[in-house]
Structure 1
């Protein structure tokens, strides 16, 4: 969620800018290190289209002309093949990171919050894509190329306001045709917005990725005894005298939620993945980069 500067007083704007500037160097440095680790020689996302460089052979489809058939390759089998070239025009990729209050959870002093890890992943992905010549921007903002765009994205993350409650969802009206979109959230609140977003995306030819980011406590539910569970917003509270007795039901519901998200993504031609903040972020970033290029 992006703050509305017009609604803030000069003092509030100054205080927000000071807080953002303190957080910004660490965010950029973490993302730069991660991006360099995963793809030091990044190239653009590969896809068929107008260009000079060979990309791949694919089986001929109805509608392919005889001129497009690679007869030398086809002569080696019983099928006909087309020689695809790699498109050389930049693609536009949108990024959205949930600002729900639940993303501020970090189960231990040695772990980042979900929101911080999601921002680092998104910014590092942006850096890798920009290095490959693609255009990147936050959802609802212009997608641009160039190194300076990474600084703009980092500043927007640092200045982003937290949502009023635990839930936060992207607006389908912000989608633009034939782009790619990366959504990072914990997906723990009502997921009905996912269906609406993917339906709109399908109508516009938008493909993308859903990535669930969770704290290991949310992954494993390591609680026992008397525990008071409370959302960060304070709007949800549950008192339990036997937290261990809830573990299996919780893990079952988490698995069901992931199965549902995966089914929604598969049905829309998207990808779904999940990441725990105690795992190496390089693994998650590498997966995001690969599936975007697939």
Structure 2
């Protein structure tokens, strides 16, 4: 049991990580050109969409007299329909995500948190409601929600691999699941099928380390899970490479097929690649669904 002083030390240590994560996410979000989330249909909103000819039932005050003066017809100025959407995030914070093959490179968890928080910043500042799956943080708007998300994304989970959380997801919401998805496939499948049954669509984003993508190991090696529950020793690691890469490709294929079946989108990111490029892909993927 922790003493009050030990608890305070741990709390201060965790709190010290919050500003750097938020600063990284803010900086990354700033690299993406942010526009309003127009729905490309007429309705309530501030942004101009199109002019259309006056129709029976239109009131006189709907007519744009300046535009109408340039022709023999009368026109109505339509605005884009803008309605806040609910976006639910699940970011894997299990020990598996702590892996980083290079001392100078980010761990999968670091990259996943920064990308998820940057997306949340972009969406919230565009007027959307963003929260976490489950019951810990329902979707809300505003800068305060960004701080709450930052704090929640720094928490860790137990167990070797993360299990997608699909409880308490709002019907017809949008969602983003970020993980290495190297755990039990059935758990991911169950979560996406449950979400699809509730009319939820979104993005599955697999984050992997460069070593997990290429398997550069040779000679004698001991492979151990980050949670230390699985260990395998071999004298010739290169003999495992082809089988490993085949299984990894199969996992990606299964994830892609699952997404296609449930109406979700699937993306893969290597932590050696640009975080900005990954965020831009995610932003466009989420935009297509919002």
Q: How would you bin the TM-score normalised by the shorter chain?
A: 0.7 to 0.9
- Name 2:20's counterpart in structure 1: 26
Superposed CA offset, 1:255-290 (max 9, x none): 110010000001111001011111111111111111
Displaced runs of 4 or more, over 6 A: none
Distance 1:50 1:178, change over 3 A: farther
2:100 aligned counterpart, secondary structure: coil
| Structure number with larger C-alpha Rg | 2
Distance 1:242 1:45, change over 3 A: farther
2:31 aligned counterpart, secondary structure: helix
Count of residue pairs the alignment pairs up: 259
Q: 5+ unaligned residues in a row in structure 1: which ranges?
A: 1-6, 57-66, 68-83
Partners of 1:155 and 1:146 lie apart in 2 by 15
- Name 1:42's counterpart in structure 2: 35
Cα contact 1:42–1:128 (8 A) shared by 2: no
Cα contact 1:101–1:232 (8 A) shared by 2: yes
Cα contact 2:133–2:167 (8 A) shared by 1: no
Partners of 1:292 and 1:45 lie apart in 2 by 13
Cα contact 1:46–1:293 (8 A) shared by 2: no
Partners of 2:15 and 2:142 lie apart in 1 by 22
- Name 1:171's counterpart in structure 2: 165
Shift of 1:9: 6.8
Cα contact 2:37–2:126 (8 A) shared by 1: yes
Partners of 2:177 and 2:41 lie apart in 1 by 24
Distance 1:45 1:215, change over 3 A: farther
Distance 1:32 1:21, change over 3 A: same
Partners of 1:231 and 1:18 lie apart in 2 by 29
Is 1:239 paired with 2:221? no
Shift of 1:148: 2.1
Superposed CA offset, 1:81-139 (max 9, x none): xxx97431100101111121110111111111111110000000011111111111122
Is 1:149 paired with 2:131? no
- Name 1:77's counterpart in structure 2: none
Is 1:185 paired with 2:185? no
- Name 2:73's counterpart in structure 1: none
Partners of 2:286 and 2:42 lie apart in 1 by 16
1:37 aligned counterpart, secondary structure: coil
- Name 1:59's counterpart in structure 2: none
- Name 1:209's counterpart in structure 2: 203
2:267 paired residue among 269, 273, 276: 273
Q: 5+ unaligned residues in a row in structure 2: which ranges?
A: 51-56, 58-77
Distance 1:99 1:137, change over 3 A: same
Question: For 1:58-69, what aligned pairs fall within 5 Å after superposition?
Answer: none
Question: For 1:44-83, what aligned pairs fall within 5 Å after superposition?
Answer: 44=37, 46=39, 48=41, 50-51=43-44
Question: TM-score, structure 1 length as denominator?
Answer: 0.82
